[in-house]
Each structure stands twice: as C-alpha cells, then as structure tokens.
Amino acid sequence: MVDVAIGTPVPASNAKVVAYPVPDAAASSDSPDEAGRIVPTDAALRENQRLTGLTDVELQREVVDVAFSGLRADTLHTLLWRLHTPGCPNLRVLNLKANRGLDDGVAISLARVLPGACPALECVDLSGPPVGGVALASMMPRLKCLQSLLLSFNALENGAAAALAQSAPACTALLRLELLHNSFGGDAARAIVAPFAALLSSENVVLTRLELRDADLVLLVASLPARGGALRSLDLSRNGLRDATAIASHFGGGGAPELVSLKLGHNPLSAATLKSLGCALPSMRALQTLSLSHGDLGDEGAQALFGSLASEGALSASGVKPAAELRILELRGCGVGDGGMRALVAALGGGRMPQLRKLLLRGNDVGDDATLGSLAQAIGPLAALIEIELGGNPFRSSMGALGLATPPGLKALQKACKGKKVILSS
C-alpha cells in the first residue's frame, strides 16, 4: 500500500549498481578508473566536503541532510560519488530537497548508484527543483526497494505524472509517495493513484498553508478510502480551497467514521461544498470539532451548511442525529449575518447538536433582535453548552439603534445564558 500524500518509510533491500555519477565539472584533473568512469580528484572531494559540510565520517550516519543548501548539480553528483565509495550501509534517509542543482541528471545518477551502495536506504527527498518525466521513468524501476519518495513542489506536469504512473508496478516496496503542489491535473493525479492503491499511515493529517489545488485534493481523497476508520484528525486550513466537495462526499459515504476533528478555516469554500458537508455530517458520527472560521461563508454558505443539517432528511434511518457528538463549532469571522444565523438556530433547535459545548461566532454580522431571541430559545435543550462567543457582532434593536442600549434580543440571550451558567463572551 502506498501513501500518496503522507506516510512513514520502512527498510529497503539491495540492487545492482549500474553506473557512477558524474563528478564536479570544476575538477578538471579528474581521471577515469579502470572501467572508464570518471573519478573525482582528492581536491574535488575536499571541496565537496567544504560545500556540503559533511565529512566522510558523517556520511556513515543514518541521515544525510543537505536540504536548502544551494548546491549545484556538480556538487550533488560528487556527493553521490562519496556515498557510493566506499558505500554507506547505515544510510536510511537522504534529503536533497530544494537545492538549485537538483535536476534530472542528479536524479538518474542517484537511482543508478545508491541502491547497491546504501542497502538500508528508506527515504529520498527530491522536493523543490524540477525532476522531470524522463528522470522518473529511469528512477522508479531502479529504486524498486525504496519505500519513501518525496517529489512535492517539483512542477511535475502531466507527462511526468504519466511516466510515474507507468513505472509504478516496479515499485513493489513503496509506501510513501509525496506529490503535493505539482503542475499536473486531476486526470493525471487519478492515473497515479490507481496503481498504488493508496494508504495514508497517519491518524492525524495536517496539510496547512500549502495552497493545495484540485489535483492535490484528488490525491488526498483517493488515498483516504483504504484507511477506513483510522483517520481521526484532518486539518486543511489556509489553503485557499473553494471546491472541496470530493472530500465532503467521501465523508458522506462513510469514509471517516472515526474522524474527531475537521479544520477547514481560511478557505473560501463554495456553497456547494458547504451543502455537501452539511449532508455528510450524519455519517461523521464521531466528529467533535468543526472549524470553518474566516472562510467567507456569508449567509449563503451558512444556509447551505445548516439548511441541509436542519432538514428532517438529515436524520439517519437508525435515528442517530447528525452532529450528535459535535462539541465545538468555530465560525469566527465568516461574514454570517442574520439569515445564516437563522439556519444555524433551526439546526440547534432541532436537537441536531445535543453535545455542543462551544459556539464561537466572533466577528460576524449577527445582531437582529428576533435572531438573538430565537438563539436564546434554541440553547434551552443544550445541556452541555458552556460558552457562546459573540464579540464583534453589530447588535441592534428592532428599532434600528446600534450600540445605544442593550437590545431586547440580546437581553433574552444573556438571561438564558445566565440561567444555564453559560459564558456569553465578547
């Protein structure tokens, strides 16, 4: 099984060395060995130690990390030579991420040299500069015993994705393939996922601030089904996501029965996505935290989410109420006005969230007398409720006064909260 987004690597086995890497181009006195292959001079090797900061002793460790070092291609080639000669039997992780010289030539040399020289190698990180389809087609069959390959932020296009998909059958030991934030489209992503029968290995998946695209979501959603009930926390905050209906539909189909926390804040989610999410909540029976803060829901989005939740059809055939275990609902700064609030009140009044403890609504546009009065009535049956956060909302009376006196609806809510010993925070 392969993790198409995130995962954990495990041991590898031997493979035959088929070629040596090319040494530093600057070492003009390099000489060929008896097989005619270029060998770097002692001066070139010393210069490589200086540039990489790695002595020969340090290359015998389990982890060799030169990420973000600004190394050129010739330096990386010579580093591969040093790993190959005399070999690094202890090396488990090689991190070449975000070096300017990382290219197809380096990737091909790595695949030719390291399997035999580093029999314990588990993980190779080539994220960052472009590694194209030609290199991938050459790499994957040779790295058949590698179990973790990271290729995110590589600008991989459809052709490279196709090469990766075609070479997938040779990667029998691969458990983790990271491809987030590349340039291939959704169809190419699906072609990659298919041969890997993807499996996420972490119970808590955090993919924030990555500016995920549609193809990334295809990879993520396709990798979720095999997990069954293992997924407990998913954080996709701050990605600029608009269309996440695939994820919501997956949850609605029972794909995450043990999901406890779902965070989608700081994403401009579409009304269609929110409606799908509302329809999915009856199937998300373990969900305790739902965070949509700063997501530009507005009234339309709130009505789409809570309208489907409040409908009679949201009750499952077994009588289990949707959002039955929901404890925390975060809707801060979502632009929700009185129209969206009325949809939320309808859901609360219908007993859809009987375990709700915190309702966080700071910085919205809620304040109509009648809406606040309805909220006061709706919280009556919520025995677990301990806090309502309403600061930053423009409370006003039915006569239009703003901030001149406590509106009757707010007074009713304050009284209801006091009676239930609920904190009404501002």
| CATH assignment at residue 64 | 3.80.10.10
Cβ count within 10 A of residue 81 = 24
Q: Are 207 and 165 in the same domain?
A: no
CA angle at residue 106 from 64 to 156, to 5 degrees?
A: 100
**Nearest CA-CA partner of 338 in 293, 375, 389, 295:** 375
**Nearest CA-CA partner of 341 in 386, 284, 300:** 300
Q: Are 259 and 390 in the same domain?
A: yes
- Is residue 107 classed exposed, middle or buried when 0-12, 13-18 and 19+ CB atoms within 10 A define those classes? buried
Q: How far apart are CA 163 and CA 168, in angstroms?
A: 9
Amino acid identity of 271?
Answer: A
Q: Are 192 and 207 in the same domain?
A: no
Q: How far apart are CA 210 and CA 406, in angstroms?
A: 44
Beta-carbon contacts of 52 under 8 Å, excluding residues fewer than 6 positions away, are: 66, 69, 71, 75, 79
Q: Which two tokens stand for residue 422?
A: 């609920």
**Nearest CA-CA partner of 12 in 127, 93, 80:** 93
Q: Are 334 and 262 in the same domain?
A: yes
On the CB side of 226, CA atoms within 13 Å amount to 17
C-alpha separations of 192 from 169, 263, 276, 417 in Å: 11, 27, 26, 53
Q: Which two tokens stand for residue 321?
A: 């109420």
The per-residue pLDDT for range 13-24, each reduced to its tens digit, is 222 222 333 333
Assign residue 88 a region: left if phi > 0, alpha if psi is -120 to 50, beta otherwise? Answer: beta
The per-residue pLDDT for range 216-253, each reduced to its tens digit, is 777 777 666 554 456 788 888 888 888 888 888 888 88
Domain edge (last residue) among 169, 199, 229 = 199
Mean pLDDT (10-residue bins), the chain, 426 residues:
34 28 37 52 90 91 92 91 87 91 87 83 86 78 79 83 78 76 74 57 61 71 59 84 86 84 92 90 90 92 85 50 84 94 88 89 88 90 91 70 67 89 83
Find out whether 245 and 272 touch, Cβ atoms under 8 Å.
Answer: yes
Q: How far apart are CA 426 and CA 422, in angstroms?
A: 13
Find out whether 341 and 347 touch, Cβ atoms under 8 Å.
Answer: no
Domain edge (last residue) among 167, 199, 231 = 199
C-alpha separations of 100 from 7, 131, 134, 139, 267 in Å: 26, 11, 19, 20, 32
Starting from the edge strand earliest in sequence, which strands make up the sheet with 63-65, in order?
63-65, 93-95, 123-125, 148-150, 176-178
Burial per residue of 324-361, b for 16 or more beta-carbon CB atoms within 10 angstroms, e otherwise: bbbbbbbbbbbbbbbbbbbbbbbbbbbebbbebbbbbb
Q: How far apart are CA 191 and CA 76, in angstroms?
A: 31
Per the structure, the count of domains in the chain is: 2
Query: Position of tokens 């300017």?
Result: 100
Angle, helices 186-196/158-167, rounded to nearest 10 degrees: 10
Predicted pLDDT at 198: 44
Q: Are 193 and 273 in the same domain?
A: no
Q: Are 156 and 249 in the same domain?
A: no
Q: Are 353 and 383 in the same domain?
A: yes
**Nearest CA-CA partner of 86 in 55, 56, 46:** 56
Which residue segment(s) compose the domain that 252 sits in? 202-426
The answer to whether the peptide bond before residue 115 is cis (omega within 30 degrees of 0) is no
Q: Are 222 and 195 in the same domain?
A: no
Q: Are 206 and 77 in the same domain?
A: no
Amino acid identity of 254?
Answer: G
Domain edge (last residue) among 173, 199, 225 = 199
Q: Are 171 and 233 in the same domain?
A: no
Q: Are 29 and 102 in the same domain?
A: yes
**Nearest CA-CA partner of 344 in 384, 378, 313, 394:** 378
Q: Are 69 and 215 in the same domain?
A: no
DSSP label of 225: G
Q: Phi first, then psi: give them for residue 319, nearest 5 degrees.
A: 90, 0
Find out whether 220 and 244 touch, Cβ atoms under 8 Å.
Answer: no
